[in-house]
Structure 1
Amino acid sequence: MSYLPPWAKRLICLVILLCLATAATPRLLEFSDRTFTLTPEQIGTAKTGNNEERILAAIDDIRAGKMADARATVDALLNEQPNYRLAQLLRADLYAMRAMPLDTIGGGAAATNASAPSSVLDDLRKEALVRIAHRNEDQATANKLPANIVVFAPNQQYAILVDASTSRLYVFANENGKPKRIKDHYVVVGKLGVDKRVEGDQRSPLGVYFVTSHLTRPQLDKTYGELADLYGVGAWPISYPNELDRSQNRTGHGIWLHGSPAATYARAPQASNGCVVLTNEEMLKVSSYLQPGNTPVIVAPRVEWLTESEWLQRQSAALALLTQWKSKWENLDSAAYLQFYGDEFRSAEGQTIEAWRSQKTAVNTGKTWAKVQLSDISIFAAGENSSQLVTTFQQDYRSNNLENQMRKRLYWQRGNEGWKIIWEGAATI
């Protein structure tokens, strides 16, 4: 070695050291080596209940550090609903938390899959948050009544109420004229939210509508082919645009209640093109309460909840308003009668408030008496803070020179001067 250059001597020494180090390394992971064992994973207890109750229970257990119970619940959910994306996300989080702490839902998926679109994770977080928010709100509103359901018509057995702010659909039964909550479900609304104005704006409408028909899955398959899967178990069209929408030049069509694609258990809170979407399982449950041509579907920006005494006062005030309008009309008091109409009024025929005033004043001049009877009255409220009333009734009008019966609808708007009629005409459904 004395003849080797210095760099060669250093290289030979380094090789000898590496060989010795390799030989001294313990082989801890060989199957025959009993000096290393894995700690068995703790077996948890899966929670029971419906799918939403179980997903929320899993989130609660994660927050409380009960990881085994959370894993058991999520695994049970995914065994039943393998396409439940929120449950898949929680499973990814539970695996990731074995190696690192997480500070947000979906942190595990974000850490282990950097290519996952942030919009997908954001949508799933939103779904979790709106479900959690509903549970918290539900505890405060369980014994309250919705301001949106004011008066049921005698033949209306149920009403559907959608709270766009919480992605929630409620089914209310007509229990002796009072709304009784019997079911509620998570729903999906338009990708860009609510207050639909034009065709293709990807918003859900706000207002009072009615179920018009039922499109079965075989009917959808025949019409749309493979695209029918978007609607899941079936679709129940609603009457958008309603009479007021058309008078305000709102456009669009094909707004339905419908199910979800087979490959997706539940979609993000804002993911439709304007329809109101449920899981297939829950759409089937809700469908049993839908009567085409009769069941109202009220889509509100936020539901206003009232105590029973507040609700009764609200109902009495709405009925009194309608009675006052009828009385002024019967009394041929044109000036007082026309005070019920707002400056933005449009009739079914397109008359402005000026034309309406002229016509009604001229008609009443030729009357000596008039009698108006209203029956089968329904009143529902929509808009921010229940600021819009939709009154529908069977009208029997008789006077000295005219008799007329019709199904009529009035749209009222609350403003600085109180309630004003902004549309009047025959009810189209």
Structure 2
Amino acid sequence: MSSKLPRARRLAAVLLLLVLAPAAQPKFAAPLQPQGLQAPSRAGKAASGSPEQMIVAALDAIAAGHMADARATVDALLAREPDYRLAHLLSADLYAMRSAPLRAIGGAASGPADLLAGLRHEALARLKASRNPPPADALPANLLVLSPKQKNVVMVEADTSRVYLFRNDQGVPHRITDFYTTIGKLGVDKFREGDQRTPLGVYFVTGEMPRAQLDAMLGKNAELYGVGAWPISYPNELDRQQGRTGHGIWLHGVPYDTYARSPWSSNGCVALGNEDMQTLSSNLQIGVTPVVIVRKISWLPRNAWQQQRQAALAMIEQGRPSPGGLSVFAGDVAAEQRVATFDDAQAPGGVRRQYWQRSDNDWRVIWDGPAKAG
């Protein structure tokens, strides 16, 4: 790619290179031939930051035609994270570009087609997250009322392969950080055992399984979960009512010899890199922390969020028999469902849950009973 091309066009070309399957490349060959990707003539400058910031910086450098900087950044990243497969893929490409142009990211690598496709999708997911962060002052419509006991909330956004961590700031969700993540091989909306999908809905962390415990339980198979696993409450009460089956949906790490997995490669769990999983796990409260899994987070301006929060409180007061700690969350907003959890001395375990469904502009309770967790 000539460095004289406008930056937006160069970046668009790199995005196309990421998503084109080999069979589709001839159709786009003419406009995507990177004419200026020869051996670097100067020493490059490595980008700094987190591994994700560095891989995005390397892709940016390729888009800009700054091959020396891309090479230096990838080398520094591999010295830091020698098991980062996507960085190895870019490294092979950058060496190959010294002698000939490539027509696809990963064009210099050999290996199973599904593995290479997964790495391209990982690169695309990380680039998109960098290019399209949530609005600075927006709040998620999915998190309307936080109980005082819930110090943090976890949200999984499947469409962008991100996990968001929010702090409970006096009832307002304050975004702390976010991580790249992996979900089920066949996407979301789990319905039955073994369908390799990640569930959608409102769940809670129900336990912690350190690596030593997994080793004792699973033997060599424990390697899949890296630093450990944190089960969540799938199937929840509504899932059971709807006939959804399956079990063992966890937040967990990845094998120690793998920095990250491709975006859609789990059997339904939510998998994070080990360092990210350790950071996330330090903010989890067993039996308390919500994990809200959606296709896409609905971000609202603060005033609109406050209005929806007040409407949710008014709605819940219709069906709450006693005061107490209260949380109100929504899964995919388009489904127009809300999940309310509150203290109730009359309920087994002292916690009660209600699932509300909107129909013809009215909200009604479709499930009411003791809560499994939360």
TM-score for the superposition, normalised by structure 2: 0.86
Residue 90 of structure 1 corresponds to 90
SS of the residue corresponding to residue 107 of structure 1 reads coil
Do 1:162 and 1:299's aligned partners in 2 also have CA atoms closer than 8 Å? yes
Do 1:304 and 1:386's aligned partners in 2 also have CA atoms closer than 8 Å? no
Deviation, structure 1 residue 43: 1.3
Q: Which has the higher contact order (CA 8 A, sep 6+)?
A: 2
SS of the residue corresponding to residue 235 of structure 1 reads strand
Identity percentage of aligned residues: 53
2:353 matched to 1:409?
Answer: yes
Which amino acid in structure 1 is aligned with residue 367 of structure 2? W
Match runs of 1:187-336 below 5 Å:
187-326=181-320
Q: Deviations over 1:129-153 (max 9, x none)?
A: 1111112220x52321111111111
SS of the residue corresponding to residue 219 of structure 2 reads helix
Give the 3 Å change call, closer, same or farther, for CA 99–231 of structure 1 in structure 2: same
Q: Deviations over 1:336-368 (max 9, x none)?
A: xxxxxxxxxxxxxxxxxxxxxxxxxxxxxxxxx
Deviation, structure 1 residue 41: 5.3
Mean CA deviation greater in 146-155 or 97-106: 97-106
Do 1:105 and 1:125's aligned partners in 2 also have CA atoms closer than 8 Å? yes
SS of the residue corresponding to residue 108 of structure 1 reads coil
Deviation, structure 1 residue 322: 1.1
Do 2:348 and 2:370's aligned partners in 1 also have CA atoms closer than 8 Å? no
The correspondence for 1:134, drawn from 129, 136, 149, is 129
Q: Deviations over 1:105-157 (max 9, x none)?
A: 21232xxx4xx22211111111011111112220x523211111111111110
Match runs of 1:106-145 below 5 Å:
106-109=106-109, 113=110, 116-138=111-133, 140-145=134-139
Question: d(CA) in 2 for partners of 1:418 and 1:62?
Answer: 53
SS of the residue corresponding to residue 409 of structure 1 reads strand
The correspondence for 1:424, drawn from 341, 347, 368, is 368
Residue 151 of structure 1 corresponds to 145
Q: Deviations over 1:362-408 (max 9, x none)?
A: xxxxxxxxxx32210111110243622100112367xxxxx999421
Question: d(CA) in 2 for partners of 1:406 and 1:64?
Answer: 59
Do 1:302 and 1:385's aligned partners in 2 also have CA atoms closer than 8 Å? no
Question: d(CA) in 1 for partners of 2:248 and 2:241?
Answer: 18
Question: d(CA) in 2 for partners of 1:61 and 1:406?
Answer: 56
SS of the residue corresponding to residue 224 of structure 2 reads helix
State which structure, 1 or 2, has the greater radius of gyration over its C-alpha atoms.
Answer: 1
What is the aligned residue count? 335
Give the 3 Å change call, closer, same or farther, for CA 64–308 of structure 1 in structure 2: same
Do 1:379 and 1:392's aligned partners in 2 also have CA atoms closer than 8 Å? yes
Do 1:304 and 1:385's aligned partners in 2 also have CA atoms closer than 8 Å? no
Which amino acid in structure 1 is aligned with residue 270 of structure 2? V
Do 2:233 and 2:372's aligned partners in 1 also have CA atoms closer than 8 Å? no
Give the 3 Å change call, closer, same or farther, for CA 221–311 of structure 1 in structure 2: same
Deviation, structure 1 residue 414: 2.4
Mean CA deviation greater in 269-278 or 410-419: 410-419
Residue 375 of structure 1 corresponds to 324
Mean CA deviation greater in 306-315 or 413-422: 413-422
Which amino acid in structure 1 is aligned with residue 282 of structure 2? S
TM-score for the superposition, normalised by structure 1: 0.75
Do 1:163 and 1:169's aligned partners in 2 also have CA atoms closer than 8 Å? yes
Which amino acid in structure 1 is aligned with residue 112 of structure 2? P
Match runs of 1:340-419 below 5 Å:
372-385=321-334, 387-395=336-344, 406-419=350-363
Query: Over aligned residue pairs, what C-alpha RMSD do you find?
Result: 1.8
Give the 3 Å change call, closer, same or farther, for CA 254–296 of structure 1 in structure 2: same
Do 2:203 and 2:236's aligned partners in 1 also have CA atoms closer than 8 Å? yes
SS of the residue corresponding to residue 414 of structure 1 reads strand
Question: d(CA) in 2 for partners of 1:394 and 1:125?
Answer: 46
Give the 3 Å change call, closer, same or farther, for CA 404–84 of structure 1 in structure 2: closer
Do 1:234 and 1:258's aligned partners in 2 also have CA atoms closer than 8 Å? yes
Give the 3 Å change call, closer, same or farther, for CA 40–412 of structure 1 in structure 2: closer
2:73 matched to 1:73?
Answer: yes
Deviation, structure 1 residue 323: 1.8
